[in-house]
Structures are given as structure tokens and as C-alpha cells.
Structure 1
């Protein structure tokens, strides 16, 4: 099987074992720090050139170890969690788990499994993958925020959503911030609402448009039957600026 170094990765450290033909040559803890990785590199230089590092992909925790392998041009196998779990179950019925046990088991079953070596790719591919993942995370955040706004407005001022298109715009967020509850509208005047709309939004809006919107908001407020009061904690989560509104 050659020489294999198996590592069980956890937060900030790994448990490492080195095997040669099913015989354990060494084992111990590796701290994910400059000193810890330098000590590991010294040990690797004393081992045969056919050494293969094996560890499971554990998201952010294994990324540091993978970077160490890439920077030092070390051969390594990065196992996905399902493959690692399946391999750890080979030849044993024990369900208990420890870092030491998993590291030893990963090394012992190395010969029985076809573990492809992870080949390094140009940075551009890593950047594209990271950007794609970041884009998906932003999309999910937008969906959650839109759903939260919808649910909150259905409790406090559902008619306000008539102003919105299929997406949440800065102007829509301004309306929510200023008028999260019909009581805030009915306690003032249309003229004051119009002036507040003109000053508070980054969108260029004419005085006639602001006047029309103020009239519509006022009519919606008179129709609305909110499920929560204007002092509800749910409204405070809108991060509204009621003091500025009433002192205007």
C-alpha cells in the first residue's frame, strides 16, 4: 500500500497516524498553526517519497490542511464525508467514534480502496467555484429576507405590499421603514407623508408622484386591519425610525 498518513480533522487540529504495510510508524496530534504545520512538514521529509496524505473534507476545518498540502506540493486524497464513512465501516461493527480510531481506520483500509489523488487546479477555477457558491448564498439570503418581509407585513400592514413589484427595491424598503403599521400613517397628514417620501428615498421622485403615493398610503391605512399593535416587538425588528418620523 505504500506509506500513508491519515488525518482525522477537527477544529484547529488533526489527529495523525502514519502506516507502512499495515504497521503504525507514528501517531500524534497536529495543531493547525505555523509551528504545528512546520513540525509536520519536517516529519514528512523523513518519510518515503511515495507518501500519501488522506483526510476527510470537513468544510472550513479541512481547508487549512488542504492549503498546507498544496503549498508544499504534497500528494493527498480528499475524501467526501459519505465515502469516508463507508470506508470507516469496513471490517468493523463498532459504532463508537474517536479521532484516534478514525485516523487509524482510514490508514488501515487504504489498500482496499481506490482513492484518487487530488490534483491541484489553477486559482481561477477555485475563484469561480467560490464566486458561484457566494452567489448562491446571496440568493438564499434574498429569498429569506423577502419571505420575512412578506410574513411581517401580513401581520402589521399587508396593504403596503401593493406598492411592491416582484422584487424588493430600495424604495420598498424605505416605505417599510417609514410605515410598518397603519397607525403611523393615520397619526400624521398626507402632506407630511409626501415630504417624508421625497426626503427619505434615494430614488428620484417627483412631488406629484410623492403626493399620489401619500394619498394611496393614507387610504390603505384606513382600510387595514393589522394583526399586531403598533408597539409590537415584531415591528421593532423592522429597524424603523419612529422618532425621526414623529419629530419631523
Structure 2
């Protein structure tokens, strides 16, 4: 069903391109076919220009169905020029599709694209942007974008993931710090620095003073032992237990033990 739909659409475009090719031959011109693609979140606008003349324009979904239609049109042309603006995660699928099928393309930085198209822009619509991307290629003759090996993209993805993870950790720590100011601010003084595996495990185990004072000394000592994966001496456990009890007796919690803030 998909191939039948794509084939129907492609034959129409192929006829238009063939007509333009014949006109070009009559004039003695070399035929250039440029696909301008304006990528948004769920769909992309495609404008097909032959020797500067628009022969087709349509919208595709950014999925297998939409890319199948685009592929059908690309296959009707020898060495099509493809140009689109990089739109972060939205253009990644189009880029992967073109790489998979071996098509060269020109990927523009958004600021670079805006600067180049400002002189051509009449009003801001996706359809006009796609067409003007293609039109500008006949004037600027941009070179295809260099495609790096997949390992470099993987490294960039890992770096971005690590950065996002680090930011999430910082935000989580800031939220915990704010909650502790309401429930048990003295707990931040239990260790030399309020960070690390043992500190965060103690925060989870004792979010307010009641969780400390409700335990016997033996159970409190056992909780302290379980707060770290490292070996900890009996002397160190006893010291932390005494300090924890002193901090709990000093503290005044602003919420009840069953408060949602402690969940």
C-alpha cells in the first residue's frame, strides 16, 4: 500500500522534472535539481526546484512513511542537491535517513541559514523557507556537509548525556538542600562535607529528627553502618551515632513525620 502511494506521487513529480529537463536541453543548460527541506517537530516542508524553477512542494511526516515518499522523489533524480537547516533533535532523523541511503546533503547552522535567507525572506512561513533554502543554493552553491564517522556522533551523544545527568544531579541536590532547611538542616553537619554516598544515604534514612530519636542506639548504629559500602570502625559508628542524636535533639522540624515533604 505504501509503495503504491509513493509510486503514484513519484510519477507525478518525475513527469514535472522530465518536462523541465527537456526545456533545459533545448536551452543547452545542465539540469540541477535542489530539494529544500524545512524541518519542524512532526513534519517537514519539501520544495523541489529544477534550475531555479519550483516544480513541486509538499509536506511529509518525519517518519518512515514521509521519508519513503521523499526517497521515491530523490531516486528520480541523478545527484540531487539536498539542503536543510539543522533543528537539533528534529533534524536528526532526516539526517540519519539520508546517511543510510547514501545521499549527500548540506546542513545549515540556524544562524547561518537566517543570515543567508534574510535578503530573500518576504514573510515567515515554512513553505517559503523550504523554497528559499532551495533557491539560495542556486546562488550560493554550498558544498555538501562533511559526514563524520558514527563513533564521533556517539561520543557527542555520550557527552550530552553526561552533561544532562550532571545538571540533573545538581538540581536534585539543590531540591534536597531546600527540603532539609525545613525538616532537618542540622544533618548537613553530620560529616565533614555534605556530599558523597554516606551523606546521601543518611539523608534518605533520617529526613527529620524523629527518624533518629525513634530508634534505639543499636538500630541507629546499624543504620549508620549500612549508610556506606566502605568498612567503618566501631569507634567511628559510635561517634556518628552520638553526633546524630545531638543534632536531632538540637533540631526543630517544621513538618510532621508523615508530611509529603519527607516521602
Global fold match (TM > 0.5):
yes
How far apart, CA to CA, are the structure 2 residues paired with 1:91 and 1:39? 28
Residue 160 (str. 1) matches residue 190 (str. 2): no
SS of the aligned residue for 1:109 comes to helix
How far apart, CA to CA, are the structure 2 residues paired with 1:67 and 1:167? 45
From the superposition, tell whether residues 232 and 163 of structure 1 become closer, same or farther in structure 2 (CA, over 3 Å). same
How far apart, CA to CA, are the structure 2 residues paired with 1:165 and 1:113? 62
Q: Which residue number in structure 1 is paired with residue 27 of structure 2?
A: none
Residue 68 (str. 1) matches residue 97 (str. 2): yes
Contact 1:9–1:55, Cα closer than 8 Å, also in 2: yes
Aligned length: 233
1:52-67 equivalences in 2 (<5 Å): 52-67=81-96
How far apart, CA to CA, are the structure 2 residues paired with 1:165 and 1:57? 48
Q: TM-score, normalised by structure 1?
A: 0.82
Q: Which residue number in structure 2 is paired with residue 128 of structure 1?
A: 155
C-alpha displacement at 1:162, in angstroms? 1.6
Q: Which residue number in structure 2 is paired with residue 142 of structure 1?
A: 169
Q: Deviations over 1:150-198 (max 9, x none)?
A: 2222221111112345573222122111111112223333333112323
Q: 1:89 aligns with which of 104, 118, 124?
A: 118
| Larger-gyration structure (1/2) | 2
C-alpha displacement at 1:91, in angstroms? 3.1
SS of the aligned residue for 1:29 comes to strand
Q: TM-score, normalised by structure 2?
A: 0.78
Structure number having the greater helix percentage: 2
Q: What root-mean-square deviation, in Å, do the aligned CA atoms of Structure 1 and Structure 2 show?
A: 2.4
Q: Deviations over 1:7-52 (max 9, x none)?
A: 1112343111111232111121223333432332221121232x21
- Gaps of at least 5 residues in structure 1 are 237-248
From the superposition, tell whether residues 194 and 8 of structure 1 become closer, same or farther in structure 2 (CA, over 3 Å). same
C-alpha displacement at 1:118, in angstroms? 1.0
Contact 1:156–1:226, Cα closer than 8 Å, also in 2: yes
1:3-82 equivalences in 2 (<5 Å): 3-49=33-79, 51-82=80-111
Contact 1:9–1:56, Cα closer than 8 Å, also in 2: yes
Q: 2:237 aligns with which of 198, 202, 210?
A: 210
